[in-house]
A and B are shown apart, each in its own frame.
Chain A
Amino acid sequence: MEKGKKLQIKPYLYLLPVMSFLLFIFFFGLGTSILQSLGYNSDGGFQSVTMAHYRDVFRSSAFVSGLLFSLRTSLISTGIAVVFGVGLAYLMMRQKKEWRLFRALLTLPVIVPHLVAAFIIFTIFSQSGMIARVGVLMGMIEHPREFPALIFDRQGVGVVLAYVWKGAPFVFLILYQVLRSIHGDMVEAARNLGAGGKDLLLQIYLPLSLPSIFSTFILLFAFSFGSYEIPFLLGPTAPRALPVLAYVEHIQPDWSNRPYAMAMNMVLAGISVLLVWIYHRVFKLFRRHHWEERSQ
């Protein structure tokens, strides 16, 4: 239908609306942050390009501890959620029945917003929460004060719990589909060749679902690293998670503070962009690997 390799204009036209919107957001969203963090001033332009704001930001202990807090809570919560979700998906896939209701119920945490998730974790794990009440019933504690402070704590246990509760079902839903799509000819063939349950898991299911596991990991990690609601509602005031800290800087009325806010913003965005890059790289790797296997 289309002649030869002539450059087509159609796909670009189709992409025009969504691309112009997104480029607008990225250009102005990241562009102004970069410029201002390097010392650009909307009144006077550049006095001089400077890295001083970044240097100062990295010297501030509030920033460094906030960054570490964000990285740590995101990494731990994502790790637990992925292990949980993948395990559940694998177990579920091995079941003979479909367990429709079970899967429908597990989608609940996915559609429940993060605000509600924060409230749920608060109601269960706070010092007067459900677990503390069970503790009283069992005679382990007498007063709410004696229950360990898991919410608003410096370690961010509450933050981690909330992300796990939201994340694990998400991983489950995606991985269940992926594993189901593997289930079939290849598994049959492996069985015929004498593979046991463990072989199937390690030689077939795991390697074939690895790209999906990895991509959900990156998605969840990036989400929990870059979002505001959960650490705002369940996190400690010191250290503050990076998004919360950046927002606090952002609303400072003093304009001389602006470059610092933007420098923090850039670190936040920069780590996200780094993640996009890793995601892209690793996928290229997976794809090459996959193709090699196919061509053999």
Chain B
Amino acid sequence: MKIRLWKVLLVVTALLFVLPVLMVLLWSVTVSWPFPDLFPREFGLRGLSQIFREGSRALGSLAVSLRISLWVTLLTLMITIPGGKALGIYKFPGKGFIKLLLLAPLIVSPVAIGMGIHGTFIRLGLTNTELGVVLIHLFPGIPYGIRIFTNVFEMVGNRLEEQGKVLGANGLQVFFHLTLPTILPGVISAGSMIFIISFSQYFLTFLIGGGNVITFPLMMVPYIQSGDRMMAASYSAVFIVATLIALVAIERVLKLYYRRSSGLSGVFYTREKR
């Protein structure tokens, strides 16, 4: 009996967190839902079609967002994989401090950092450019990459890589045929996390992008501010669906890569034969 009560409690809380998302999806296909109705009066795709109209600004901003976030994901992975490897495998002086510094972006306010570096970015000509936005988006994602890859390398070590080297593979071969397949689960979870963080950035984008780089969240905010529920919900729905699709795609692509290269022996075998 007592157990059942707990179960009810669990289900109720779950609904508390999930129903609002469903409500957003419902609003996105609603044309008329006046006060004080509890259910929409009229359904329709006016909001969504406004976003998906050919050549619309919304669609363009979605493309900009995807482009920026994919670059950010790639670059962050490129710098945090070696960083995580250093922290996960080696012992060296200054490690504690470096670790703390690399995790600091989780805690130090991105608003403070963004406004502090704004002047420097202006001087370097990075404001109002996609490059500048990509660079500033790297900041909040780094700790997640570092954390995940430190754990991953603590688990897998570097024995396999050493063996590969002994067998005569060069650095790149070792990385792409041994390291990457081994740490793939980490790459997927870190990549997804970094992508989500960059994809949902608002403040840093408009601060550095200066109204010149219009991402999807930037298009969305005016509708939220003005209380235009239909449009805000349509944007939110597209946003959530786009995130999910991108995450699945990232995972698929990486897994595909894994399957192709998982014949671990392949590269060495061909070398031997030569």
Question: What is the bound-complex CA distance between A274 and B7, given in angstroms?
Answer: 40
Residue pair B86, A218 in contact (C-beta under 8 Å) = no
- The interface size of chain B toward A, counting residues with CB under 8 Å, comes to 78
Task: Given A14-B85, A17-B83, A269-B112, verify A108-B107 contact (CB < 8 Å).
Answer: no
Question: What is the bound-complex CA distance between A99 and B243, given in angstroms?
Answer: 24
Question: What is the bound-complex CA distance between A218 and B108, given in angstroms?
Answer: 11
Residue pair A106, B14 in contact (C-beta under 8 Å) = yes
Q: Which residues of B contact A (CB under 8 A)?
A: 6-7, 9-11, 13-14, 17-18, 20-21, 23-24, 27, 35-38, 78-80, 82-83, 85-87, 89-90, 92-93, 95, 98, 100-102, 104-120, 138-139, 142, 146, 162, 196, 199-200, 202-203, 207, 217, 220-221, 224-225, 227, 229, 232-233, 236, 239-240, 243-244, 247
Interface of B is mostly: helix
Contact partner of B23 (CB less than 8 A), chosen from A106, A118, A130, is: A130
When distances are taken between beta carbons in the complex, the residues of chain B under 8 Å from A123 are 20, 23-24, 27, 229, 233
Residue pair B79, A18 in contact (C-beta under 8 Å) = yes
Chain A residues touching B, range: 35 or more
A-B contact pairs, 23 of them (CB 8 A): A11-B90, A15-B87, A19-B98, A22-B142, A23-B101, A33-B115, A91-B9, A102-B14, A109-B17, A112-B236, A112-B240, A115-B217, A120-B24, A130-B23, A165-B17, A165-B20, A233-B221, A233-B224, A246-B112, A246-B115, A250-B115, A272-B107, A272-B109
Additional pairs, 4, CB under 8 Å, beyond known A109-B17, A113-B217 = A11-B95, A15-B82, A115-B236, A272-B107
Question: What is the bound-complex CA distance between A239 and B178, given in angstroms?
Answer: 55
When distances are taken between beta carbons in the complex, the residues of chain A under 8 Å from B225 are 233
The number of A-B residue pairs with CB atoms under 8 Å apart is 238
Residue pair A92, B10 in contact (C-beta under 8 Å) = yes
Residue pair A106, B17 in contact (C-beta under 8 Å) = yes
Residue pair A227, B203 in contact (C-beta under 8 Å) = yes
Residue pair A226, B110 in contact (C-beta under 8 Å) = yes
Most buried by A among B86, B199, B221: B86
Within 8 A of B (CB), among A119-151: 119-120, 122-124, 126, 128, 130, 132-134, 136-137, 144
Residue pair B27, A276 in contact (C-beta under 8 Å) = no
Q: Is A21 part of the binding interface, using a Cβ–Cβ cutoff of 8 Å?
A: yes
When distances are taken between beta carbons in the complex, the residues of chain A under 8 Å from B100 are 276, 280
Residue pair B79, A219 in contact (C-beta under 8 Å) = no
Question: What is the bound-complex CA distance between A246 and B247, given in angstroms?
Answer: 34
Question: Distance in Å from the Cβ of A6 to the closest Cβ of chain B?
Answer: 11
Q: Is A114 part of the binding interface, using a Cβ–Cβ cutoff of 8 Å?
A: yes
Interface of A is mostly: helix
Task: Given A29-B117, A114-B200, A119-B233, verify A222-B109 contact (CB < 8 Å).
Answer: yes
Q: Which residues of A contact B (CB under 8 A)?
A: 1, 7-8, 10-15, 17-19, 21-23, 25-26, 28-33, 42, 84, 88, 91-92, 94-95, 99, 102, 105-106, 108-109, 111-116, 118-120, 122-124, 126, 128, 130, 132-134, 136-137, 144, 165, 168-169, 218-219, 222-223, 225-229, 233, 243, 246-247, 250, 261-262, 265-266, 268-269, 272-273, 275-276, 279-280
Question: What is the bound-complex CA distance between A228 and B138, given in angstroms?
Answer: 18
